[in-house]
A and B are shown apart, each in its own frame.
Chain A
């Protein structure tokens, strides 16, 4: 199998508090993978390490065989939990910004998606609602021809109809060479599009499985399984 993302013995702590403990994970190309876990399980920390925003304390992390750094940032498209554009920017400025910054950015794709979402390129970021801002951010991230898409809570603030659109956007825009890694609490919304799920708890992997294998073995949805595994 062609491994795209690999973590070996990954450790990360904030001060004395361990957040990720000896984590081993290997993810293949061409898959859509859900990283699911309760609040504080280390999902966002893991994503940020893969994105190159946080440094690991110990272990090995590679993407497409390369250690995290400039070379991996070129092939990783990251959607953070919060949008980061300056409120005074217009939507078209953010497009220019991405085009200037990333070699693999496809302007036509971004413009076409914004049009189908009825988002005007002349709007200022501060004039947009929270959900619309998130959509703009996602459009930009998915308009890159990356090898890894890291989507941290891509549907947190948007309505159900827009969630469907976002899932479609994800399905149409990634290719066989790329993988999409999604963290979310809205499991029932995403589970149909996932290949694999990784359940994570207290910085450790509970299991990593093919979703249809789970449905076959347990006769339950990923959402129900999550509720069972992480019952409080």
Chain B
């Protein structure tokens, strides 16, 4: 897993986002075991308490489950990963539209630009 953090927003929220993304893209598979908290913290270069907080929250939301003495695993609800994909799609689309709006385009113009761009790049 590659970690990238922006220091202006809480790190635990960014960890949650990044793990969700790995689940959505299939980089983390259902029933895959996660490394130990400390190990994850060291590879991400973050505080172990922060990592713990993020993983607990993911567990509460049902993305992860833990087995006592054995560790934490990725939940196998497939609908979760579809839902995640939807969430992320919306997030990326929102960001794109926002950026285009700030350049002064209207929504229907954006659609045309995008269509042109896609046919042009073929």
Contacts and interface: CB of A to CB of B under 8 A. Distances in A.
Contacts of B8: 215, 219-221, 224
Interface residues of B, number: 18
A172 B47 contact: no
B49 A195 contact: yes
Nearest to B42: A171
Interface in A15-42: 30-32
A168 B46 CA distance: 9
Contacts of A219: 8-9
B50 interface: yes
B38 interface: yes
B30 interface: no
Interface of B: 5, 7-13, 38, 41-42, 45-50, 53
A213 B47 CA distance: 14
A167 B41 CA distance: 11
Contact count band on A: 20 to 34
A168 B42 contact: yes
A193 interface: yes
A171 B13 CA distance: 20
Nearest to A174: B48
A232 to B, nearest CB: 22
B9 A192 contact: no
A223 B42 contact: no
A174 to B, nearest CB: 9
A30 B49 contact: yes
A212 interface: yes
A83 interface: no
Given A212-B10, A215-B9, A219-B9, A164 B50 contact: no
Interface secondary structure of A, over-half rule: helix
B7 A192 contact: yes
A32 B47 CA distance: 8
Contacts of B12: 212
Contacts of A120: none
A171 B41 contact: yes
27 contacts: A31-B49, A32-B47, A164-B45, A167-B45, A168-B45, A171-B42, A171-B45, A171-B48, A172-B38, A172-B42, A188-B7, A192-B5, A192-B11, A195-B47, A195-B50, A211-B11, A212-B12, A212-B13, A212-B50, A212-B53, A215-B8, A216-B9, A216-B10, A219-B8, A220-B8, A221-B8, A222-B7
Given A31-B49, A192-B7, 16 more contacts: A30-B49, A164-B45, A167-B45, A191-B7, A192-B45, A192-B46, A192-B47, A195-B47, A211-B11, A212-B10, A212-B50, A212-B53, A213-B10, A215-B7, A215-B9, A221-B8
